[in-house]
Amino acid sequence: MKDEQLQRAADGTYKLQKVLAQAGLGSRRKMEELVRAGQVTVNGAPAGIGARVGPLDVIKVEGRLLRREARGDATRVLLYHKPEGEIVSRDDPGGRVSVFERLPPLKGAKWLAVGRLDYNTGGLLVLTTSGELANRMMHPRYGLEREYAVRLRGKLGESQIGQLRAGVQLEDGVARCESLEDRGGEGVNHWYHVVIREGRNRVLRRVFEALGLTVSRLMRVRFGSVRLPPQLKRGQFVELPPREVRQLLAALGLQSRERAATGATREGRRARR
């Protein structure tokens, strides 16, 4: 770690796979696979494993120019209360409203969604300028909890609750709930809070369908340690203050860019002495 900080302080370069991961293209391991496959070029030439790049280098991934995050900027995290009827994508042939149309503009960076919520699902959507943070929160290896408020048409029976906790077989594998809390209801509708540790497409809707129940409303209320603020209305967003961003990074085993930059500067000063 110290050697890398010294080199950054000396020449302002970073490992290529780290830059690619920070841009939100995937994990460092996946980026290494892209490099080995010849899908990454630096200044027009095929890149090699271990290559280092600076702010003026032109990087292309699978022929597309990489938009770089501004190195001087601190990691930013935005909490958005997504309404039903919006997509978590910048491109939609159907012309539906995108969550990215609602967000504050950025200069020299872009908002990256931490996972997705489908068109008919609302609630907490976490967005960040850091690809590393997004990848760490989404990666199955870390198994961050996702908590949802689920409104069902009908009430779960004891055998169904047992199946949810033991695991329900879906076409793409078994899905299980870490915990389930009955929140009551009236008439045919009943509310539950359900915690899972994965983000497969429509996984909760498919789980309840497999049990013969229909989800009439679905909202994410927590992702890892980040909760949907109770005062945040649908269609509104709030930015986490720097202190809370640093706490989130630390909890995920990541170093804040402000601290990393300070450390690199100190190491550089020591090296010059």
Rounded CA separation 255/144 (Å): 18
The residue annotated as part of the active site, out of 11, 118, 172, 182, is: 118
Rounded CA separation 192/27 (Å): 34
Rounded CA separation 151/205 (Å): 11
**Residue type (1 letter), 218:** L
* Those residues with Cβ within 8 angstroms of residue 72's Cβ, 6 or more apart along the chain or in another chain: none
- Name which of 26, 22, 58 is nearest 40 in CA terms: 58
- Name which of 26, 34, 104 is nearest 63 in CA terms: 34
92 is catalytic: no
Q: Which two tokens stand for residue 238?
A: 């709030």
What residues act catalytically? 118
